[in-house]
Structure formats: structure tokens, C-alpha cells
Amino acid sequence: MKTNPASWSRGRLIAVIAVGLVLLLLVGVGVYGLITGPRQPDDPSPDPAPTVTAPGESEPSTSGPPRVIPSHDPDAFARNVAEALFGWDTGSGLMPLDYSAAILDVGDPSGTEQAGLASDIAAYLPTREAWIELRQYATTQHLVIDDSFVPEAWDQAVEQAQPGQLPPGATAVTIEGTRHREGVWNGEPVTSEHSVSFTVFLACPPPAPQFRTGLCHVLRLSQLDNPLR
């Protein structure tokens, strides 16, 4: 029995767009560093590759760098981080490192958790190679948040922490939502939806010069689909 090459190719490319991020579920992000200590990335992040386009496509448009909207409110800030983490466009002219930098920019100002946070973020974003592949199909992604809350397990973590181990204003917010991914194959839209959950560990300290006048900042991220409850 012969396989239709066009049907096989279409199925493969749809899978690249629709299921690509599911591979991230197999990547461990490590344990929250405030209790166990920050984890250093295994390898330094590679430099961004040159922009490429598929045959017949125009060059991708270049937009400004992404940013996380600052806030003094833990829940609002965690939601802003979540939307920035999952919101990207391969046709923007940016690379995964640009989106990672936006979150690191609102990371721990002391630098203690930055290495661990960078490793956490990398597990949520496509690799450089996957990004270049997804760009050929004009792939974009965004997150629709269904719920956000301080998990009960956070109280236990606070009780177990040694004095001075947690920074001022430290808290955790678990996010539950749906990741939407869209792309185009042979002029036809291809979409996928996937439920996701994770925890944003953050701190919203009282106003002080060393704490960015009281604005919240990101400490770490839980493993994807393995949040605190």
C-alpha cells in the first residue's frame, strides 16, 4: 500500500506547529531555587542565528522588544509574566533570547536567582532550531489565563524556610490557562490548544531603592504542568 506523500508531509508539518511545545514537557526545569539553591544552566545559551525565511516568503517584520508590564500587585504581575512567557511571534524578527531577556529584565535585582531563572525560561521557549522551523509557517503563540491563585503549598514552603532565606515580599502564584498556537500551511490556518499550569515565584518587597521602588520581580518558575497546589 502506497502512502500519499502530500498527505504525509502535511501531517508532519501540522505536527511541528501543533505539538512542538509538548516536547517541553519532557524537559526538567529543576526545583525552586529559593529553598534548594539556584541551579546553574548546563550550557550557555547559543547566540541567535541569522534570520531566515522559507522560499517565497517575505522577510519577517521587525518589532520592538517584548516587555513585562510592571506592577506592585503579585497576582497582576504573575499574570503579566505568564502572558509574556507564552506570547511570541516567530515572524517578529526576534529570537527566543529576546523573549527570555524581557522576563530576565524583571528578575531578581540582586542577581541571586538570575541563573536559575534563565534556565527555567529556556525550558518554556522553543530552541533556536525549532524557532527557525516554526518561522516558516508563521507560527505565533499566546496564553489565555483561566485562573491564578496563591497555592496552599506555599504556606508550607514559608514555614520550612530558614530565617532570611526568602527575600522580602516573596510569594507564589499558580497560573492555569490554555496555550494557543497558530500557524499557516499552504495558505490554510493550523491551530492547536493545550492546557497548561505552572507557578511563578516572585517577590513584591516594600518600597526601597534596592528593590526597584517596591515593584514586583520574578524569582523562579516551576516546571511546566507541575505547579504548586
pTM, two decimal places:
0.74
DSSP string computed for 61-111: PP-PPP-PPP-SSHHHHHHHHHHHHH-EEGGGS--HHHHHHHHHTTB-TTS
User: Each residue of 7-58: pLDDT tens digit?
Assistant: 445 555 445 444 443 333 323 333 233 333 333 334 333 333 332 333 333 3
Per-residue pLDDT of 74-91, as tens digits, reads: 999 999 999 999 999 999
Q: Compute the CA torsion angle 103, 169, 30, 122 (nearest 10 deg).
A: 0
User: pLDDT tens, 141-162?
Assistant: 999 999 999 999 999 999 999 9
* Strand-pair partners of 85: none
212 DSSP 8-state letter: G
Find the length of the chain.
229
How much is the pLDDT for 185? 87
Burial per residue of 133-168, b for 16 or more beta-carbon CB atoms within 10 angstroms, e otherwise: bbbbbbbbbebeeeebebbeebeebeeeeeeeebbe
How many beta carbons lie within 10 A of that of residue 75, not counting itself?
18
- Give Cα 79 distance to the centre of its chain: 12
pLDDT (0 to 100) of residue 38: 32
Per-residue model confidence (pLDDT) at position 63 = 57
Element spanning 140, H or E: strand 140-149
Poorest-confidence range of 154-158, 180-184, 211-215? 211-215
Cα dihedral 226→68→171→206 (10° resolution): 170
DSSP 144-210: EEEEEE--HHHHHHHHHSPTTSSPTTEEEEEEEEEEEEEEEETTEEEEEEEEEEEEEEEE-PPS-GG
Over range 98-126, report the average pLDDT: 95
For the record, the C-alpha cell of 30 comes out as: 529543576
Query: How far is the C-alpha of 151 from the C-alpha of 71, rounded, in Å?
Result: 20
